[in-house]
Amino acid sequence: MGRKLAAAGVLAGLTLLAACGSGSGSGTGGSGTGGEAAPAGQPTTVTFWGWAKGTQQVVDAFNKSHKDIQIKFEEIPSGNAGGYAKFANAVKAGNAPDVMSVEYPQLPDFVNQGALEDISGEVGDVKAKYPANVFSLVELGGKAWALPMDAAPQVFFYRKDLFEANKIEVPKTWDDFRAAAEKVKKADAKARIATFFPDDPSILAALAWQAGGKWFGTEGDAWKVAVNDEATKKVAGYWQGLVKDDLVKVQASFSQEWNAAFEDDSLWGYVGANWGAGVMKGNHAGQSGKWAIAPVPHWGTPASGMLGGTTFGVSKGSKNTKAAVEVIKWLTGSEEAWTARLSSGTSSGFPAIADLVPVAAKSFDASFYGGQDIYALFSESYKTIQPGWTWGPSMVQVLTSFKDALGKVSTGGTTIPDVLETVQQATVAEIKGRGLNVAA
């Protein structure tokens, strides 16, 4: 999982940060707005934007237990649904929040845009709590730009009652998955085993990661771009076959249509990640006890990619950097925060700090899954995350390019393999347009 950026990425990030020239990178705060400094004797107010499930409960717990700092929380749309654009615009306007949710893929983009503070000097005391390969995901140029909240290993959700009633084995490999998909369709002509999401390329990225793909790397002082590498082509061809043969639904992720398919028993599974456990439980409470979770199918050897995962960074120019870092440390690393988040019943987050996993497991009510020890499963899946994946310097563009092109798959206007070539070309052009080198 570790991300090692060579000279190209490091120099690009530092050059762009210098060009922005807004505030210092020392972690002492700069010239932007964020939360206002507190009058003498009053608590410091730290503004915070985010969308992760259970966050309001975590904020409430913080505010009840702290007198010197209070969080003013604003729930915004998830990053891909507009949250990142809102944050980027706020940074440009000088009214960004002190603390911002940023997923791992997008972190390099915001660092390169000069949108985040270097908090290295403030987080040295907690760095050792994180596995090195997780903490490396928030480091660029030898500096820390955020703290990890969670990891997000892939899993497969399935209707245990329907699989058992129709004598369908839970698939262990992707070959098994296709065979099971055929059996589901045969058992019920309107039913499908899972969904291909044309609007959510992060799932395709996780599947490519799981298959051993490496979309980005470095070669000397240049970026290597391989969105269309052989592992990803294999994944794309496989899912194109499922779509072509009508073995999966093609629906927007988390849409009304998608949720309705679970309710009318026409959707028997969901290829997702650990955080989906809370989503499914919250959206389909009437199906409690009917669902179970299994490892994500693999290509021959158990493996996983990471689908999502959240970090918290401090906005460039925050007037309350030190207080903001204290908030972030508590949000990501305290038992109280994880108890509040998981006890909300809406979150099934998997802590990036391993010592907090038992707290999460104890706090999440797994009765929806028949009392299954889902955190033991998440832990096993986490151990199989493929090493060597690197997020590139233009992931917002990459995911946008994917989303634009994948939207034509359902109409037959393109194929998933063809989309890879489209995004490969767009990504190379974007990175070169930023003045960075791209290896041939």
The pLDDT assigned to 388 comes to 84
For the beta carbon of residue 74, count every other beta carbon within 10 angstroms. 11
Give bridge partners of residue 69 from the DSSP assignment: 44
Any idea which fold 7-151+309-352 has? Answer: D-Maltodextrin-Binding Protein; domain 2 (3.40.190)
Any idea which fold 154-306+388-433 has? Answer: D-Maltodextrin-Binding Protein; domain 2 (3.40.190)
Please tell me whether residue 175 adopts helix, strand or coil conformation: helix
Read off the pLDDT of residues 63-83 as tens digits, 9 standing for 90 and up.
Answer: 999 999 999 999 999 887 789
Fold match between domain 7-151+309-352 and domain 154-306+388-433 = yes
The pLDDT assigned to 294 comes to 98
The pLDDT assigned to 364 comes to 93
Helical H segments across 124-255, by residue range: 132-135, 160-165, 174-187, 201-210, 230-244
Residues 248, 178: Cα–Cα separation, whole Å: 10
Give bridge partners of residue 267 from the DSSP assignment: 192
Residues 429, 424: Cα–Cα separation, whole Å: 9
Contact predicate 321/27, CB 8 Å: yes
The pLDDT assigned to 41 comes to 75
In 3D space, the residue among 320, 389, 394, 311 whose CA is nearest the CA of residue 145 turns out to be 311
The pLDDT assigned to 37 comes to 58
The pLDDT assigned to 19 comes to 29
**pTM score:** 0.86
- For residue 157, give the H/E element and its range: strand 154-159
pLDDT in tens, the chain (440 residues): 333 333 334 333 333 332 232 232 333 333 334 555 566 679 999 999 999 999 999 999 999 999 999 999 999 998 877 899 999 999 999 999 999 999 999 999 999 889 999 999 999 999 999 988 789 889 988 999 999 999 999 999 999 999 999 999 999 999 999 999 999 999 999 999 999 999 999 999 999 999 999 999 989 999 999 999 999 999 999 999 999 999 999 999 999 999 999 999 999 999 999 999 999 999 999 999 999 999 999 999 999 999 999 999 999 999 999 999 999 999 999 999 999 999 888 899 999 998 999 999 999 999 999 999 999 999 999 999 998 888 999 998 999 999 999 999 988 999 999 999 999 999 999 999 999 999 97
For residue 352, report the phi and psi dihedrals to the nearest 5 degrees.
Answer: -70, -30
Token look-up 């994946």 returns 389
Token look-up 């050059």 returns 15
For the beta carbon of residue 24, count every other beta carbon within 10 angstroms. 14
Q: What angle do CA 338, 339, 343 make, to 5 degrees?
A: 115
> Where do the domains of the chain lie?
7-151+309-352, 154-306+388-433
Q: What angle do CA 86, 336, 365 make, to 5 degrees?
A: 90
Contact predicate 390/161, CB 8 Å: no
The pLDDT assigned to 6 comes to 36
Please tell me whether residue 206 adopts helix, strand or coil conformation: helix
Read off the pLDDT of residues 400-435 as tens digits, 9 standing for 90 and up.
Answer: 999 999 999 988 999 999 999 999 999 999 999 999
Residues 39, 30: Cα–Cα separation, whole Å: 18
